[in-house]
Amino acid sequence: MPAPAEIDLERVICRLADLEQTGARAFRLGGGDWPLRGFVVRCGAAVRGYVNHCPHAGHPLDLQPHHFLTPDRVLIVCASHGALFDKESGLCIAGPCSGQLLRSIALNVMDGLILLAPEVDIAALVAATS
């Protein structure tokens, strides 16, 4: 029997079960004044992660904490000017940044926890969206 994989606690975002209530959840990871600000969203059985930075005007998408989805939970919505994004791809399908993409974040799910994938360079992601 293989040894259980070790979990890097500094890369834990939240529990999978934390997405039940709103379907999405904001997170901050990394130290200093400029942590990585992102969110995770449930896509059927899968989970997707994105930087919380709208390609339109660079605002965070959620004005109310953890509110990233339309009321029917089908699409991601930016609270600032209403851009709508596909949950699976992060593609803006309507609104002022139509055709642009949210910056995705690679994730792993392990033992009911959502983690940043080991290859994610937090500093590089922060630099690319600040």
Q: State the residues that interact with ligand FES by CB under 6 A.
A: 54, 56-57, 59, 78, 80-81, 83, 95-96
CA distance 82 to 65: 16
Query: Are 123 and 19 contacting, i.e. CB atoms less than 8 angstroms apart?
Result: no
Nearer to ligand FES, 59 or 73 (CB): 59
Give SS3 for 12: strand
Locate all alpha helices (DSSP H) within 75-128, ordered by sequence: 122-128
CA distance 97 to 102: 10
Nearer to ligand FES, 28 or 81 (CB): 81
**Residue 3, φ and ψ in degrees, nearest 5:** -70, 145
Taking the complex as a whole, how short is the minimal distance between the CB of residue 91 and ligand FES, in angstroms?
14
Nearer to ligand FES, 38 or 95 (CB): 95
Nearer to ligand FES, 80 or 129 (CB): 80
Taking the complex as a whole, how short is the minimal distance between the CB of residue 75 and ligand FES, in angstroms?
13
Taking the complex as a whole, how short is the minimal distance between the CB of residue 95 and ligand FES, in angstroms?
5
